Amino acid sequence: MPAMLEVNNVGKTFILHHQGGVHLRVLEGVDLVVEKGEAVVLSGPSGSGKSTLLRILFGNYRPTSGSVLVRHAGELVDIVAAAPRTVLEVRRRSLGWVSQFLRVIPRVTTLDLVTDPMLARGIDRGVARRRACAMLECVGLPERLWSLAPQTFSGGEQQRVNIARSFVDPPPILLLDEPTASLDAVNRDIVVDLVGEARAKGATVVGIFHDEAVRERVASRIVDVTGFTPQKAAS
């Protein structure tokens, strides 16, 4: 199986200039290869650097050292060294980020929110719209809400919008940042099913799940991040 993600000797130290210039060493010597079709779940206690590593994989945090190769358009691209526009292109086509938070421009309707990621990938507007509708139905969001902006929705409804938006057109690599953290049982099951569906279509998954049961259902491999935690890490 080809490697979809290849992390080589990645380290991350935060320098907090406004807190006495303290150096916060969070990760050291991270080596990790994720092959196509795998579902890797990062584990470790709070503060062990799971979230930091996941963000580095997405190109959101910039590692202090090392490289992160991501398979994009058939090639491995180092998103640490790549030009910003290359990173954006990798994210648009190959690398998806799913969190529990819906962070969007106010006033955009639910249907547009779910359609947008597909339009950005150049999918025809009509096709995108049909798939968006199907997805919203799948997550069980009442149709009367589709033409409204989700800011006024209940917490559960907003989560469904977020799930729909994230899984409507899953890219080859999915990074999941505790997407089930605050979901009720029904929504949690929907997410687990959708991850399964995405994997069945060939998606590769790396994620963080606090829920023991969900972790067991999703993971094909569990990676303990404490192995990458520096000995004298600040607590």
Partner 1 sequence: MTGVATMPADTGSLLEARLVSRRYGHHIGCEDVSFTLWPGEVLGIVGESGSGKSTLLRCLAGLDRPTAGTVAFRTGDCMTDIFAIPEQERRALMRTAWGIVHQNPRDGLRMSVSAGGNVAERLVDGGERHYGRIRAAASEWLTRVEIDRARMDEPPSRFSGGMQQRLQIARVLVSGPRLVFMDEPTGGLDVSVQARLLDLLRALVRDLGLAAVIVTHDLAVARLLTDRLIVMKSGRVVETGLTDQVLDDPQHAYTQLLTSAVLAA
Give the residue with the Cβ less far from partner 1, 24 or 222: 24
What are the start-end ranges of the H helices in the chain?
50-58, 84-93, 110-120, 125-138, 155-167, 185-200, 212-218
- # residues near partner 1 by CB under 8 A: 22
Binding residues for partner 1 restricted to 64-83, rule: CB under 8 A: 83
Q: Which conformational region is residue 135 in: left (phi greater than 0), alpha (psi within -120 to 50 degrees), or beta?
A: alpha
Tell me the sheet residues that pair with 27.
12
Cα–Cα distance for residue pair 88/90, rounded to 1 Å: 5
Task: Kindly state whether residue 85 participates in binding partner 1, applying the rule CB under 8 A.
Answer: yes
Residue 20 engages partner 1 in binding (rule: CB under 8 A): no
* Residues 6+ away with beta carbon under 8 Å from 93: 72, 73, 121, 171
**Binding-site member from 1, 22, 88, 234 for partner 1 (CB under 8 A):** 88
The least CB distance from residue 15 to partner 1, in Å, is 8
Shorter beta-carbon distance to partner 1: residue 108 or 134: 108
Q: How far is the CB of 6 from partner 1 (least distance, A)?
A: 20
Tell me, what amino acid is at 217?
A: R
DSSP letter (8 states) at residue 227: G
Asked if 17 is part of the footprint of partner 1 (rule: CB under 8 A), the reply reads yes
Residues 193, 214, 198: CA angle, nearest 5 degrees: 30
Smallest gap from Cβ 138 to partner 1, in A, equals 25
Among 49, 59, 172, 179, binds partner 1 (CB under 8 A): 59
- Kindly state the smallest distance separating residue 191's Cβ from partner 1, in Å: 23
> Binding marks (x or -) toward partner 1, 104..143, rule CB under 8 A?
-xxxx-------x--xx-----------------------
Per the structure block, which two tokens stand in for 75? 């090639």
Nearest partner of 117 among 101, 104, 133, 128, judged by Cα? 128
Residues in contact with partner 1 by the rule CB under 8 A? 14-18, 55, 59-62, 83-85, 87-88, 105-108, 116, 119-120
